[in-house]
């Protein structure tokens, strides 16, 4: 079971823990096909109104994509996360893409968010390629956390992505809370050194 979390520096509870993929066939990765894993095509779940970006909505004060995340020590007795390197454009060799969420208030309960990282169809069809699923658990004083996808061995495919953020472990129109979007361009090109 893979788990990622940020240390609390003595706070006790984990801020967010991403768990291994659920056994649900809708969420499980496609079976391996030879040396490379086969990609899974999924229908895009659409909320009644797409809500993404830094504007407040519902449970979230802010939802952003970033290059990293760290503990925000400025809020005593609350467990908050702040994004590092906020961006909506990444290169295919980016080490990881984070979706950092900030809540309007602490959770006062235990719940999970599920994030599905989907490469959208380049022709605008209502399907996408599910590349990764991540889960994060939130508890008591948590004011936010993150979902993330590490760079695949061959790099992030170039294109437009959406991250569906669902409440709990189900994937349907009702569980979808919000979306985040980003795009991936080609790899970073090395700067040639000037001729002597």
pLDDT tens-digit map of 129-188? 999 999 998 877 777 889 999 999 999 999 999 999 998 888 888 888 888 999 999 776
**Would you state the structure tokens that stand for residue 54, as one six-digit string?**
């830094």
pLDDT in tens, 47-87: 545 544 445 456 788 899 999 998 876 655 567 788 999 99
CB 142 within 8 A of CB 79: yes
- Radius of gyration of the chain from Cα atoms? 17
pTM: 0.70
Token representation of residue 33: 């096909």
């Amino acid at each position: 079971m893979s788990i990622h979390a940020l240390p609390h520096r003595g706070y006790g509870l984990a801020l967010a823990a991403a768990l291994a993929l659920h056994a649900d066939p809708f969420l499980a990765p496609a079976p391996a096909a030879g040396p490379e894993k086969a990609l899974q095509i999924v229908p895009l779940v659409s909320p009644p109104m797409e809500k993404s970006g830094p504007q407040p909505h519902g449970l979230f004060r802010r939802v952003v994509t970033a290059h990293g995340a760290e503990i925000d020590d400025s809020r005593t007795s609350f467990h908050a996360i702040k994004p590092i390197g906020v961006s909506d454009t990444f290169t295919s060799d980016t080490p990881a893409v984070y979706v950092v969420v900030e809540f309007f208030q602490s959770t006062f309960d235990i719940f999970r968010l599920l994030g599905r990282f989907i490469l959208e169809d380049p022709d605008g069809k209502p399907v996408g390629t599910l590349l990764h699923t991540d889960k994060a658990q939130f508890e008591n004083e948590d004011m936010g956390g993150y979902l993330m996808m590490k760079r695949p061995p061959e790099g992030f495919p170039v294109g437009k992505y959406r991250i569906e953020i669902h409440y709990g472990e189900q994937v349907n129109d009702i569980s979808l809370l919000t979306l985040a979007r980003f795009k991936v361009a080609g790899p970073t090109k090395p700067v040639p050194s000037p001729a002597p």
